[in-house]
Amino acid sequence: MTPITDDNDTTADGYSRRKLLKIGIGAAVGAAALGSGTGVATAGGPNDPTSPTLAVKVKNLSGPAETGPFASPWTDLGIPVRCPNGTMLFVGGDTFNGDHVPQPGEPADDWRAPVGLRSSSADPNNLHIDGSVGGGHANSLVDEPHNPVGDKATTAIPSDVFVVDGVMYMHLMRGVIYDTHHTDFWRSTDNGETWEYLCQWPGDLHGGQFQQKTYAVADDGYCYVLSSVFNREVESGMLLHRVRKDSLGNADAYEPWGYADGGWRWGAPPTTVFGTRKWGEICFRAMDGKYVFTWLNMNALSIRAMVFPLPTSDLTRTLEQTMILPCAPGQEAANLVASPYGGFVVPGSTFGNFHIVVSQWYDSRNYRFMQYKVNMLS
């Protein structure tokens, strides 16, 4: 979703991308210096741990060799979800066929969003995309005509996919990218092959801070939802809601966590739980009796994680662990990645065997999602 190009360059969706990531150039220089000699880099933020994060690239999960056989050589995000039948579905964002990602002024070749690319193995240690929703040609999971809006076009970007009681759910952000008109919510009872519309929310709800949503499925009958504005250039709070599992498709059933009358409580006006930042992709999961939150941090550019005991834990006092740092193309090693984004937790991960899906986009033939294994704090 965010390649590094010249400042005046735009991509197929019409946005200048370099300005979204140029804040990370200094971090890349520092990361390269820190990594020399050891192959390990650390960031220097006030909330970063003193010990380094160890990370290793496992493999490319998408690309001409990996997903080209499914007419999807160029795709990103790859939000992983373990399907009820035991396969792993990777839900991709803007996806193209052809020999490169379309450039400004070029027609988009077979543009689809979102798509479902499947690994018959859901073992985090043995993932390999060997199928898709659509067979030899990955289909768009929902109808998205990419309607023109001025010199841009609409799309459908997934922010989360998850399973509750054998049913799969998917949340999409609709409209021109970074100008969300509305978000909508879908479910599948056949392992992601077909999707049924459930509900939608207006893009300006809660000041836009309910656009990008991610769901942690708890064992207390609730899903806990973190949300933010979907625009990396905009300062946004991070809101927390909860919704009963049997009411996921009821747009009015989401109860906010907020501060009122001197204290925090459910049902108070929604209040940011994490100050304000420029957020990229976010992922919230219940895991090993705790909760893990991963996100693309825009300043300084990095993919970070937090681990905490309760959905309502004080995130302003929770340690931030930097997992992935940026670097220039050709300088990648350990946890240094050229033009990184995403950072979605792979189902089946544990704190002793923690895997994330990382995307990158820095030119027309380097647009993919990859698997990384990270030495996580617990």
- Give the confidence band of 115 by pLDDT, cuts at 50, 70, 90: very high
> What phi and psi values does residue 29 have, to the nearest 5 degrees?
-65, -45
- Give the confidence band of 14 by pLDDT, cuts at 50, 70, 90: very low
Q: How far is CA 172 from CA 102, 155, 161, in A?
A: 23, 9, 9
The pLDDT score that the predictor gives to residue 33 is: 29
Q: How far is CA 334 from the centre of its chain?
A: 21
Mean pLDDT of 159-186: 98
> Residue 159 pLDDT > 90, yes or no?
yes
Give the containing element (helix H, strand E) for 80: strand 79-82
Between CA 168 and CA 196 the distance in angstroms is: 10
Q: Which residue has the higher pLDDT, 190 or 1?
A: 190
Mean pLDDT of 349-365: 95
Please list, in sequence order, all residues whose beta carbon lies within 8 angstroms of the beta carbon of residue 333, skipping any fewer than 6 positions away.
35, 39, 327
Mean pLDDT of 343-358: 96
> Residue 26 pLDDT > 50, yes or no?
no
The pLDDT score that the predictor gives to residue 47 is: 56
Mean pLDDT of 116-130: 98
> Residue 348 pLDDT > 90, yes or no?
yes
- Give the confidence band of 107 by pLDDT, cuts at 50, 70, 90: confident
> Residue 18 pLDDT > 80, yes or no?
no
The pLDDT score that the predictor gives to residue 46 is: 55
> Residue 20 pLDDT > 60, yes or no?
no
The pLDDT score that the predictor gives to residue 2 is: 43
Between CA 42 and CA 361 the distance in angstroms is: 22
Least confident of 47-61, 176-190, 287-301: 47-61
The pLDDT score that the predictor gives to residue 50 is: 57
pLDDT digits (tens, 9 = 90+) for 248-271: 999 999 999 999 999 999 999 999
Mean pLDDT of 60-64: 98
* Pick from 346, 350, 343: nearest CA to 89: 346
Q: What is the pTM of this model?
A: 0.89
> Residue 15 pLDDT > 60, yes or no?
no
The pLDDT score that the predictor gives to residue 106 is: 84
Mean pLDDT of 287-311: 96
- Give the confidence band of 1 by pLDDT, cuts at 50, 70, 90: low
Mean pLDDT of 330-352: 95
Between CA 70 and CA 167 the distance in angstroms is: 25
> Residue 43 pLDDT > 80, yes or no?
no
Residue 46: is the preceding peptide bond cis (ω within 30°)? no
Between CA 151 and CA 299 the distance in angstroms is: 29
Contact criterion met (CB below 8 Å) for 166 and 84: yes
pLDDT digits (tens, 9 = 90+) for 173-220: 999 999 999 999 999 999 999 999 999 999 999 999 999 999 999 999
> Residue 13 pLDDT > 50, yes or no?
no
> Residue 42 pLDDT > 80, yes or no?
no
Q: Which two tokens stand for residue 320?
A: 């931030």
The pLDDT score that the predictor gives to residue 376 is: 74
The pLDDT score that the predictor gives to residue 93 is: 98
* Domains delineated in the chain: 18-66+149-374 (2.115.10)
Q: Which two tokens stand for residue 195?
A: 């999707």
- Give the confidence band of 355 by pLDDT, cuts at 50, 70, 90: very high
